[in-house]
Amino acid sequence: MPGWLEVVIRSVSIIIILFAFFKGFIRKPIGECSSFEFGLVAGMTIIGAIGAFNLQIPIAFVLTALVVWGLFTIGLSILVEKSASFRTFMYGRGVPLIKDGKILEDNMTKQHVTSDELLRRLRSKDVFQTADVEFAVLESNGELNVLLKSDKQPLNPSALQMKVAPTKEPETVIKDGEIMDEPLATRGLNRIWLETELAKIDASVENVFLAQVDNDGQLTVDLFDDQLTVPEPVELALLAAGLKKVQADFSLYALDTDNQRSKERYEWCEKEVTELINLLKPYTS
């Protein structure tokens, strides 16, 4: 067999084995792997690279080494998953660097974290004053997680006791000018609806780079031609404006009529529309 052909066969075989192991058992970013796990991955890669072109090493030896390293990696991942103590041994525990608003200098020294590095990591979390931090922990993967003091945390609807509409992930219904039927069906929609919505903004499917349908059934579109402007969805805004007009009309009718029975009906209708507006406010605001 020609040498170049043997190299090709070796390379393809090794790549398939490495792909199978890495695809099946490495489910996290390489930055979150422990140094030992990273060493195992690097070792398998080096064995495969050397075995691919070093024809003096029998291919059976190379494949055996890869399988042994792979099985060891699999066994290690299973042990980490099943045993909490071994998981702690492998990855360690998070170390507090700030607690009760105070910087723990001893922990910083043990983790070899300087004050400059602490400030840099805080800035990466959009925190520019250590006085704003209630608790900060250095995770085993090197990431710094921060809990702000209660008066420094950003406002959210829950803190303001506001009702907001539930959100779900948008469905991508057009990619690279091609309609995706399955996401459309997930939203209970079809191609006719999609083409009708595109016609409203004078866009064709072929000119759409990406289109998504949100939880409210509104279509947002990005075109291949960035010079063209796409109008924002206005259906919910128009609905809110229409309901407010109806509310105002009923209020006006109630004031204008002298018939007590009609006045009561108009006031009842106004009340019902007001409740409907309040019910839809999380969706239309």
The per-residue DSSP string of 5-22 comes to: HHHHHHHHHHHHHHHHHH
SS3 249: helix
CB 189 within 8 A of CB 213: yes
Is the same domain home to 203 and 279? no
Q: What is the pLDDT of residue 282?
A: 65
Is the same domain home to 229 and 241? no
Is the same domain home to 81 and 22? yes
Q: What is the pLDDT of residue 29?
A: 64
The residue type found at 60 is A
Q: What are phi and psi of 14, to 5 degrees?
A: -65, -40
Is the same domain home to 145 and 178? no
For residue 165, being part of any structural domain is answered with no
Residue matched to tokens 């995770």: 139
Is the same domain home to 78 and 46? yes
pTM above 0.75, yes or no: no
For residue 63, being part of any structural domain is answered with yes
For residue 26, being part of any structural domain is answered with yes
239: its two tokens: 């609905």
For residue 25, being part of any structural domain is answered with yes
Residue matched to tokens 């507006």: 277
Residue matched to tokens 């900060």: 136
d(CA 38, CA 68): 16
21: its two tokens: 């192991």
Count up the domains in the chain and report the number.
Answer: 4
Is the same domain home to 101 and 129? yes
Residue where a domain stops, chosen among 34, 66, 89: 89
d(CA 26, CA 24): 6
Is the same domain home to 129 and 197? no
Q: What is the pLDDT of residue 27?
A: 59
Is the same domain home to 207 and 278? no
Residue 244, domain extent: 236-284
For residue 79, being part of any structural domain is answered with yes
Is the same domain home to 114 and 185? no
48: its two tokens: 């495969």
Is the same domain home to 248 and 265? yes
The residue type found at 8 is V
Which CATH number covers residue 137?
3.30.240.20
For residue 141, being part of any structural domain is answered with yes
CB 198 within 8 A of CB 205: yes
DSSP character string of 49-89: HHHHH-TTS-HHHHHHHHHHHHHHHHHHHHHHHH-HHHHHH
Is the same domain home to 139 and 186? no
Beta bridge partners of 250: none
Residue where a domain stops, chosen among 60, 89, 118: 89
Number of neighbours of residue 67 by Cβ within 10 angstroms: 12
CB 12 within 8 A of CB 63: no
Q: What is the pLDDT of residue 119?
A: 93
Is the same domain home to 60 and 109? no
d(CA 245, CA 240): 9
For residue 164, being part of any structural domain is answered with no
Mean pLDDT in consecutive groups of 10 residues from the start of the chain, 285 residues: 84 88 67 74 89 88 89 84 82 88 92 92 91 91 88 73 72 91 90 89 88 85 78 68 84 83 84 81 64
